Every structure is written in C-alpha cells, then in structure tokens.
Structure 1
Amino acid sequence: MNSKGFSLKALVAAVATAAALASTGANALSLKLATDSGTKGSPAGNALEKWGKLIEEKSGGEIETKVFFQNELGGQQEVFDLHVAGDVDVMLNWPMTSYDKRIGVIYTPYMTLSWDEALKAYSPGGWVNNMLGGIWSDIGLKFFGPWPEGFNGVGSRGKYALNIADAEGLKVRTMTVFPAPQTMQALGYQTAAIDWGEVYTALQTGVVDGEAGNVIYWDYEYFRDSLDYYVQTKHFFMTGVLSMNLDTWDSMSEEEQKVVSEAAEEIMNDQFKAAKEQDEYYIAKAQEEGMEYFEPNDEQIREFAKAAREKVWPQMEEEIGSEIMETIRANASPL
C-alpha cells in the first residue's frame, strides 16, 4: 500500500471518528432545570444548582443540565405551566393547584404542629409523602419527594396578631393557591392573593400590610425593610417539591432515570437535615436586623388550628375528596 492510500484511509477514519463524536454530543440528553422561587445563591437556588451538577457528575457528563432561577422563565404559574407542558424538565417548585385541586393537600392548614411530626409525615414512607406521588402522576409529573423549609407565619408592619381578634383589619398577601386565602381568612385576616413576583411592590404601595405565605427566610431576605414583625403562626408546613415532567422521564433510559432519581434523593436528604437549622438561623438573623419575632404559645396555636380545621377542612373536602381528607383527619396532630 502506498503512503497516499494510507493517508486517504487515515483521513476517512478520522472524519468518521469526528462525525461519531459530533453525533454523540448532538444526541446527548439535555435537561432544563428551574425553580419558581429562589434566586441564584438562595437555599432553593443552591439546591437546584447542586441537583444539576449531581446529574452531570453521576452521568459522567452524558446528561447536560441548564439551570434557571426565579423569574428567569416567568412567574410562578408560568413556570409550572412550562413544567407540566414539558418545556421545563426538572423543577424544585411550590406547586400550583390550577391543574388539580388535590395538590392543595400540601397546603392543608395545621396537619402537623411540630418539626418531628412534620418531618416524619413528609419523609419517604410517611403518610403525607405517600399521598402525593399519585396526585403528581395524574397531572403528568414524576414526584421525587419534598424539599422541606419549615413552618410559615405572618410578616407585617405596624401591627401584629397573636390571636384571631387582633388580626382584624390586617390585610396580608397569600399565595395564589387554594386554600391559602381561605386559611388566613379563617385566622381573622383580610387577604389578597398575589403572585410571588409582585409581593414587594404590593408591600411598598400599601396594597397589603403583610405577607403570609412563607417561612421567615423569605420575609427577611426580600422584605425586611418593609416588615416590622413576624408571627410564626404555623398554618402551613412549607415544602417545595422535587419533580420531573413524566414524558421526559419516560423517554429516558433506566440508567438515566437512576441518575436523576439518585441526585434528587441526595438533594432531598440534604434538606431534611438542614431545614430546621436553616429556619432557626434566619429567625435569629431577622431579629438582629430589628424584626420582632413572636412564637404563639400552645393555646394560641390551638385557637388558630381549631378555626382553620373547622372552616377550611370542609372546603378542602369538597375540592380534594373525602378519601384524602379521611386520611388527613386520621393522621393529623391532635389538638
């Protein structure tokens, strides 16, 4: 064989190899990850970013990820719409109830009253966790598990309430999901359901006197210049959800599914260990910055819980069905 023939064969082989590599790169699985709440550097943002890195590492680079933070793809409802439609593959979200009112299970007021009860209920195998997987599947999402934050409360200015009577005249922002407004009305407040991205403006312009949707981290981080008080009413145990579009999930190989699932489990386990400590840290930080923090006593919490269960739980039964509510009543913390 002459050198010219050898060079030609070598060139053909090199081109074929390059084409194969290019084809492999072009066909590599690419996943779009997003969160509806949490900027880059926030606890939620950090968790999402780590999830993406774990997926890439565990796949040996075979799966590529692109991470989008709060408001980069739209508001809370818009991003959840993209997730259900498959334009966002993977999410850490605070789910909207527009597709299925049963998602409101996660916002049932006063299901649990202590950290131990809540973490046990929401952990894999726990009674709340067991209810959620089937609901998410019905709207086309793969449910990996919760991302717990802790018990929420009411941040306000000018006035605060430790009982139902004192809440009269206070208008607070609630999440735009059922039964958030109904819960705060049961606790004596006036309400305005406002998308997360519009809360700062609503506080600045006086549309509302406070914010009643979150653990203290969010009120401290975003609104501490607007709010004087934070009362940890514990009406919801707040948790995000780690989920994936079911069509995307079904299109992946078993090995790819294992990578994403194991990465999700690691993120979830990290947060179960860190949640209480994070909450306590931001309670202290808020007080250092001048926000007055109140933790209602057992009697005050029971007043709130009794009112919410009597007024909101029957409304929930109409929306999510008696079977789910029977499970909640059988397992909820006793008053």
Structure 2
Amino acid sequence: MFRSFFTAVVFGTALAATAVSAEIELKFATDSGDRDSPSGIALANWANAVKEGSNGEIDVKIFYQNELGGQLEVFDLFVAGEVDAMISWPSTSYDKRIGILNTPYMVTSWEEALDAYKPGGWANGVLNTVFNDIGLKYFGAWPEGFSGVATRGSYATDVAAAANIKVRTPPLFPFPQILESMGYQSAAIDWGEVYTSIQTGVVDGDAGNVIYWDYEYFRDVLDYYVRTKHTFVTGNLLVNLETYEDLTDEHKRLIEDAAVAVMETRFKAARDEDQHYVDQWVQSGKEYLELTDEQLAPIAQKVRAEVWPQMEPDVGKEIMDLIRAQVN
C-alpha cells in the first residue's frame, strides 16, 4: 500500500514537473540555412541557451530553412506569432523601411558595425523603431560581412575605371542604383542566372555578395575581387514582440542576453570566415584588392549623396536624417 502510494506521488510529481517545463514553449526558426549551416548552428545555440538558462521553465522547438515553408511564409508565421524568434533576412514586403538594412556605406568597418548594431547602438535603435511597428523586437545583427565587386578581365578601384564594367546586382532596390553611382553599368539578375550571365559575357561580374559566395559559386569565371564595402550584409536576431512582452523580466533578459552572445560570437566568426575565403581566393590564383581609406572615401561620399535621397520615399526622411547624423 505504501509502495503504491509512494509510486503514485513520484509519478504525479514527474507529471507536474513536465507540465511546468512545457508551460512555455518557444519556436525558433531561420529562413536561411539548414541545421549544419553557420546560421542553423547559431539558431540552435540561441535556442538551447534559452532552454538551459531557464532551468526547465522554457522548452524550445527549432526549425531550419524550408521546414515551415519558404522565406515569406515563415516570416508571415513570425509576424502572426506562430514563430517566436528568428535569425532572419526579412523582405521589405511588410514594411519598406526594412530596406535601411541595404543602406550603402552606413558603416565601413567591423568595429563600427558592432557599435551600431548591438543593443544601445544607433542602428539598433533605428531598426527597433521599424520592426516594432510590425510586431517584432530587434536584438542585433548576424553578419555575413562587407560586400565587394567580383569581375573577370578587368577591375576598378575608382568611379572612372568602373565605367566600362557591367556587373550583376540583386534585382532589388537600391542595389542597381548603388553600383551605378559607383560608376558601373548594372544588370539586375536573379541568383540562379548569375553564373551563366558571367560565363556568356552578359555581365563582367557580380556585385551583390561577400567573397564567400563569389568564391564558392563563381570563381571559375572570375579573376578579381575588390572589397568596395558598399553594403554590410547581415541577418537579424528578432523576437515576436507579443511573445516577448508576455514573458517575465527574467526570461526577457535571458532571451536578449543569449541573442547578444550569439551576435558577438558571430561578429568574430564572420571576420575569421571572411579572411579564410580571401585566403582561398588568392590561393586559387585570383587577385584580391582591399580599397584604402583614401580610395574608399570619394566613392562612399558620392554614393551617399546620390542614393540616400532616393531611399527617402521608402524609408522616410526622418530615418535617413538619423543615419546622416551618425555617419556625418
């Protein structure tokens, strides 16, 4: 009798503990990267840090690229609260102001980028203004790095030399406008057509990526990579605002602290990865050129003067003025 009673108590206690642990369940997702990719690993690290740090009070489910649908479908679920946290490369379809992520020459060094995008940084504040309006909270950047121009046959380190070079850009505003302001001829081409477009001479190169993508996918048809730094390519650490507001202060701090730790780890890892692919590029017989501050300054000044005003109708003058105040 005693044994039956004791067993019942233990079993009931276990059920109660399970109920407590399952009381909060958060869904973490990314729209880019499988479980073995850098973004997938970072997502799992963030989610598991939250789970372990909650002492069993929060359970997590993790979903990788395409497991909940395509990029736009997953973001729909995120905004609706069906997904709670993401490492995301969001579309501007929800709010054109998200396009500030593509602002050219907003930052030009890794140190500057970390200061701007971390909690308390000026870009972090601006991005929270935008994301809060669609029901999301922004924690920080998950960077890939600074973009460049990869070409075959010839290259440019100034506006004049770029005039006879035609490069592919992503088919999104303001990428064609950025490269044209830098002096290049541009052609907006989808990702799947880039290799063939370079191979057949439709364009002379690619101007939409960090060096990893040009090395990994197009190096057979490219000769040069010039680090122009025209955009800082980054994913974003985000949480659904309603989910966040429903949490205790302790759990809020846990999710934010874990996100910031992931961001800081990624800033170092991204720099190391980038240097690795620079080394690989050179070892494969290609030429890599890093613009000096003196070479970069007139290009950045020209692009800011010409492209930033074109962004105002989508992003808003107030936000662009905030960016100007920080950069100038």
Asked if 1 retains the 8 angstrom alpha-carbon contact of 2:85 and 2:239, the reply is yes
Q: C-alpha displacement at 1:157, in angstroms? A: 4.3
Residue in 1 that maps onto 2:194: 203
1:30 to 22, 25, 28: 25
Letter in 1 for 2:26: L
Q: C-alpha displacement at 1:115, in angstroms? A: 3.3
Letter in 2 for 1:65: V
Residue in 1 that maps onto 2:259: 264
Asked if 2 retains the 8 angstrom alpha-carbon contact of 1:173 and 1:208, the reply is no
Per mean C-alpha deviation after superposition, the further-off stretch among 36-45 and 257-266 is 36-45
Distance 2:230 2:177 in 1: 11
Cα deviations by residue, 1:73-104 (Å, 9 ceiling, x for unpaired): 44443433332222322111223222222222
Asked if 1 retains the 8 angstrom alpha-carbon contact of 2:20 and 2:57, the reply is no
Residue in 1 that maps onto 2:61: 66
- Map 1:130-209 onto structure 2 (within 5 A): 130-157=125-152, 159-165=154-160, 166=162, 168=164, 170-174=166-170, 176=172, 178-187=173-182, 188-192=184-188, 194=190, 199=191, 201-206=192-197
Asked if 1 retains the 8 angstrom alpha-carbon contact of 2:168 and 2:194, the reply is no
Identical-pair percentage: 50
Distance 2:153 2:67 in 1: 33
Secondary structure in structure 1 of the residue aligned to 2:312: helix
2:82 to 74, 87, 91: 87
Runs of 5+ unmatched residues, structure 1: none
Cα deviations by residue, 1:200-227 (Å, 9 ceiling, x for unpaired): x312432765443332223334444454
Change (3 A) 1:42 1:216: farther
Asked if 2 retains the 8 angstrom alpha-carbon contact of 1:185 and 1:191, the reply is no
Secondary structure in structure 2 of the residue aligned to 1:99: coil
1:248 to 213, 224, 243: 243
Asked if 1 retains the 8 angstrom alpha-carbon contact of 2:155 and 2:165, the reply is no
Change (3 A) 1:28 1:157: farther
Residue in 1 that maps onto 2:49: 54
Secondary structure in structure 1 of the residue aligned to 2:228: coil
Secondary structure in structure 2 of the residue aligned to 1:40: coil
TM-score, structure 1 normalization: 0.82
Cα deviations by residue, 1:144-194 (Å, 9 ceiling, x for unpaired): 122233321123445544344535452413264x42333223232323263
TM-score, structure 2 normalization: 0.84
RMSD: 2.9
Change (3 A) 1:248 1:289: farther
For these two proteins, the number of residue pairs brought into alignment is: 322
Letter in 2 for 1:132: L
Distance 2:89 2:107 in 1: 18
Asked if 1 retains the 8 angstrom alpha-carbon contact of 2:124 and 2:138, the reply is no
- Map 1:36-47 onto structure 2 (within 5 A): 36-47=31-42
Runs of 5+ unmatched residues, structure 2: none
- Map 1:195-234 onto structure 2 (within 5 A): 199=191, 201-206=192-197, 210-225=205-220, 227-234=222-229
Asked if 1 retains the 8 angstrom alpha-carbon contact of 2:144 and 2:233, the reply is yes
Per mean C-alpha deviation after superposition, the further-off stretch among 296-305 and 103-112 is 296-305
Q: C-alpha displacement at 1:19, in angstroms? A: 4.6
Q: C-alpha displacement at 1:141, in angstroms? A: 0.5
Residue 327 (str. 1) matches residue 318 (str. 2)? no
Residue 312 (str. 1) matches residue 303 (str. 2)? no
Q: C-alpha displacement at 1:246, in angstroms? A: 1.4
Distance 2:82 2:322 in 1: 34
Distance 1:154 1:71 in 2: 30
Secondary structure in structure 2 of the residue aligned to 1:205: helix
